[in-house]
C-alpha cells in the first residue's frame, strides 16, 4: 500500500462497547412505524397509499419524485395517517404512519430473484430503483442514479467498510455476519459496471471481519475482489479520502468520483443491493448500533426502517445515566437530535448517547495559539486558522483564495483545536459570508 491521504485525526474509537455484540432483531417491533417522505438527498417521494390502506412487509408505499428513491413498508399493518412528524435532520416533515399488526406478513408482489450470470446494467438499475436503495453511509444519494451514471465509466469499485466514525460498529457486524452476501453483491456490481478492480476497504481495527472475508475469498475465489485493511484514521471513510487511499487519485475540486474513474458504495448499500437482486427484497431493514456511555445495554441491531429511536433506546434498556448529547450517524459528523420521536432512516447507522464525560461540554473557546494542528489535520488541504483570521478581518478577497467550497465538514479541525474553537462552523460561516459578499458586489 503506497497511497495515503493527508491529515486526519485519531479519536478514541470506543468500538469495544459493541464490537462483540451480534446483530439482534427487535424482540418487540414498535406499535407505530414512521416512514418520512424525505429520505433522500434528492427531494421527497410521493405517497401511493392513503390512510386506512393495509400494507405488508416490502410493499411499496411511496414512489420517487424526479430522481429520489421509493419507500417500502417495513412491517405489516395499516396506514393510520400521513402527517408531519419529527425528522432526524431537524424540524417536522411529512411521514407515512403505519400501525403495526405484528404479524410481519410478506408482500406477495415481491420481485423475482435475478440470475447473477445474465444480469445486465439495465436490470440492475431498474431493480435498485424499485427497491428504494440510497447511499446508506450518510450520503443518501439515490443509488440507481449513481449506478446508471457510472456504468462503463469506472475502473475501480470501492466498497466502503471503513466505518471511521468512533463508536459505530453496524458496518463491522454486517461485514462479519453477512460477508457471503456482500461479496456476491460486490462481484455482481463489478461485473455489471465493467470495472477491473473491486477493493473492499476496512480499517485496521476490524481484523476479524477481514479474516472472515478472506476465508470466503479463499474458499470460492474472489475474482476481482481484494481486501484492503488500512491503519485506523479518521476520516478514511470520506469519499474523496477513500479514493485517494485506494488509487492515489484525487477527485478534482467540485468534481465527482467519476472524474477519476471510481465509484464508492457503502458496505450496507452493497448488502442491500445483493438482497434486492438475488432475494427480491426491497430496502426495509438496516443495521443500527445503539451505543454510548449512557446506554444501559449497548448493542447492534437489525431494525425495520421507520422504527422510532425512542423505541430503539427502550429496547436497549434505556439510559443508565444522564446523557449530554443524543445523536445519530456517529459522533464526528452526526448532529444532535432534537427529538427522540424521529425514526430510523435508511442512512441511520447508529444512535449514540454520550455522557458529559465523553462529550466534554462546550467551554468558551480560548484564543488561537497558532499551533497549526488544524492545518496539519485537514484532509482537504485547507487552512482553517487563516480562514478564521480572514473572516475576522472580513476580507472577501483573501477568503476567496482559501477554497472554502472544498470543506467536507469532517470536523478534524474542531476536534484537534486545543483552544476549542468551533472551526467547522467558522468555515461554514465564512463560506456563507463569502457567497453573500460576492453576490452584493
- Look-up of cell digits 457471503: 180
| Cα separation of the two ends of the chain | 48
How far is residue 170 CA from its own chain's centroid?
11
Question: Which listed residue (28, 120, 248, 369) binds other proteins by CB under 8 A?
Answer: 369
91 binds other proteins (CB under 8 A): no
Take residue 135 and report the three cell numbers written for it. Answer: 447511499
Residue 424 lies near other proteins (rule: CB under 8 A): yes
Q: Which stretch binds other proteins (CB under 8 A): 18-26, 110-118, 220-228, 250-258?
A: 250-258
| DSSP bridge pairs for 9 | 234
C-alpha distance from residue 80 to each of 16, 34, 86, 358, 396 (Å): 40, 10, 17, 40, 53
> Given the rule CB under 8 A, which of 23-31, 118-126, 128-136, 403-411 is the region that contacts other proteins?
403-411
Please give the grid coordinates belonging to residue 262: 471510481
Does 335 interact with other proteins (rule: CB under 8 A)?
Answer: yes
Query: Using a CB cutoff of 8 Å and minimum separation of 24, what contacts does 83-86 make?
Result: 85/34, 85/36, 85/341, 85/342, 85/343, 86/338, 86/339, 86/341, 86/342
Residue from the set 38, 81, 217, 336 that interacts with other proteins by CB under 8 A:
336
The least distance separating other proteins from the CB of residue 242, rounded to whole angstroms, comes to 14
Burial class of 273 by CB neighbour count within 10 A (0 to 12, 13 to 18, 19+):
buried
Residue 322 sits in the site that holds other proteins (CB under 8 A): no
Interface with other proteins includes 337 (CB under 8 A)? no
User: Restricting to residues 252-271, which ones interact with other proteins according to CB under 8 A?
Assistant: 252-253, 255
- 382 contributes a contact to other proteins by CB under 8 A: yes
Q: Is 401 one of the binding residues for other proteins (CB under 8 A)?
A: yes
Q: Kindly tell me which residue out of 327, 342, 344, 434 binds other proteins, with binding defined by CB under 8 A.
A: 327
419 in contact with other proteins (CB under 8 A): yes
- Scanning 180-188, 205-213, 341-349, 370-378 for contacts with other proteins by CB under 8 A, the matching segment is 370-378
Cβ pair 324, 355 in contact under 8 A: yes
Q: Residues binding other proteins: what is the number (CB under 8 A)?
A: 64
Residue 397 binds other proteins, judged by CB under 8 A: no
Would you give the binding string for other proteins spanning residues 152-191, x where CB under 8 A is met? --------------x-------------------------
Please give the full DSSP string across 190-222, using - where no structure is assigned: HHHHT-SEEEEEEEGGGHHHHHHHHHHHHHH--
What is d(CA 128, CA 126) in angstroms, rounded to the nearest whole number? 6
**What span, in angstroms and rounded, lies between the C-alpha atoms of 235 and 251?**
15
Task: Identify which of residues 97 and 288 has a Cβ nearer to other proteins in the complex.
Answer: 288
For the beta carbon of residue 38, count every other beta carbon within 10 angstroms. 17
DSSP secondary structure letter of residue 18: T
Q: Does 295 bind other proteins (CB under 8 A)?
A: no
Task: By CB under 8 A, tell whether 48 contacts other proteins.
Answer: no
Whole-number Å distance between alpha carbons of 213 and 438: 51
- Residue 67 binds to other proteins (criterion: CB under 8 A): no
Q: Please report whether residue 286 would count as binding other proteins according to CB under 8 A.
A: no
Respond yes or no on whether the N-terminal peptide bond of residue 437 is cis (omega within 30° of 0).
Answer: no
Q: Which of 215, 220, 366, 438 binds other proteins (CB under 8 A)?
A: 366
Q: Least separation, in Å, of the C-beta of 313 and other proteins?
A: 17
Residues with Cβ < 8 Å from 433, sequence gap 6 or more?
Answer: 391, 394, 399
Q: Is 356 in the site for other proteins (CB under 8 A)?
A: no
CB of 252 to other proteins, least distance (A): 4
Residues that bind other proteins (CB under 8 A): 6, 9, 11-12, 166, 240, 250-253, 255, 325, 327, 331-336, 352, 354, 358-360, 362, 365-372, 374-376, 378-383, 385-386, 391-392, 401, 403, 406, 409, 411, 414-416, 418-422, 424-426, 428-429
Amino acid at each position: 500500500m503506497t497511497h495515503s491521504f493527508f491529515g486526519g485525526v485519531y479519536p478514541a474509537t470506543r468500538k469495544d462497547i459493541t464490537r462483540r455484540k451480534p446483530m439482534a432483531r427487535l424482540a418487540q417491533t414498535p406499535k407505530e412505524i414512521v416512514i418520512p417522505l424525505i429520505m433522500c438527498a434528492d427531494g421527497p417521494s410521493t405517497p401511493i397509499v392513503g390512510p386506512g390502506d393495509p400494507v405488508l412487509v416490502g410493499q411499496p408505499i411511496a414512489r420517487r419524485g424526479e430522481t429520489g428513491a421509493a419507500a417500502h413498508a417495513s412491517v405489516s399493518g395499516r396506514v393510520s395517517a400521513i402527517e408531519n412528524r419529527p425528522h432526524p435532520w431537524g424540524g417536522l416533515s411529512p411521514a407515512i404512519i403505519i400501525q403495526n399488526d405484528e404479524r410481519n406478513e410478506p408482500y406477495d408482489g415481491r420481485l423475482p430473484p435475478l440470475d447473477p450470470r445474465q444480469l445486465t446494467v439495465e436490470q440492475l438499475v431498474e431493480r435498485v430503483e424499485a427497491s428504494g436503495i440510497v447511499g446508506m453511509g450518510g450520503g443518501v444519494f439515490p443509488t440507481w442514479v449513481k449506478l446508471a451514471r457510472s456504468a462503463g465509466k469506472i475502473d475501480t469499485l470501492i466498497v466502503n467498510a471503513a466505518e471511521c466514525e468512533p463508536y459505530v460498529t453496524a458496518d463491522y457486524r454486517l461485514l462479519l455476519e453477512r460477508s457471503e452476501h456482500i461479496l456476491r453483491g460486490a462481484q455482481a456490481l463489478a461485473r455489471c459496471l465493467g470495472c477491473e478492480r473491486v477493493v473492499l476497504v476496512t480499517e485496521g481495527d476490524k481484523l476479524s471481519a477481514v479474516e472472515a472475508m478472506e476465508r470466503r475469498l479463499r474458499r470460492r475465489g474472489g475474482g476481482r475482489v481484494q481486501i484492503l485493511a488500512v491503519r485506523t484514521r479518521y476520516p478514511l471513510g470520506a469519499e474523496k479520502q477513500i479514493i485517494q487511499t485506494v488509487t492515489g487519485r484525487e477527485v478534482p475540486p467540485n468534481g465527482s468520483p467519476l472524474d477519476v474513474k471510481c465509484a464508492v458504495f457503502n458496505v450496507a448499500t452493497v448488502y442491500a443491493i445483493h438482497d434486492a437482486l438475488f432475494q427480491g427484497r426491497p430496502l426495509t431493514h438496516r443495521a443500527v448500533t445503539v451505543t454510548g456511555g449512557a446506554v444501559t445495554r449497548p448493542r447492534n441491531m437489525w431494525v425495520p426502517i421507520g422504527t422510532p429511536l425512542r423505541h430503539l433506546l427502550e429496547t436497549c434498556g434505556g439510559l443508565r445515566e444522564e446523557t449530554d448529547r443524543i445523536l445519530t450517524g456517529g459522533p464526528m459528523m452526526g448532529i444532535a437530535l432534537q427529538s427522540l420521536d424521529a425514526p430510523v432512516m435508511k442512512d441511520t447507522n447508529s444512535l449514540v448517547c454520550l455522557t458529559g464525560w465523553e462529550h466534554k461540554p462546550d467551554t468558551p473557546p480560548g484564543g488561537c495559539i497558532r499551533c497549526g494542528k488544524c492545518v496539519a489535520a485537514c484532509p482537504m488541504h485547507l487552512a482553517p486558522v487563516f480562514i478564521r483570521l480572514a473572516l475576522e478581518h472580513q476580507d472577501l478577497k483573501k477568503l476567496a483564495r482559501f477554497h472554502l467550497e472544498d470543506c467536507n465538514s469532517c470536523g478534524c479541525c474542531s476536534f484537534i483545536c486545543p483552544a476549542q474553537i468551533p472551526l467547522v462552523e467558522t468555515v461554514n460561516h465564512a463560506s456563507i459570508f463569502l457567497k453573500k459578499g460576492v453576490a452584493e458586489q
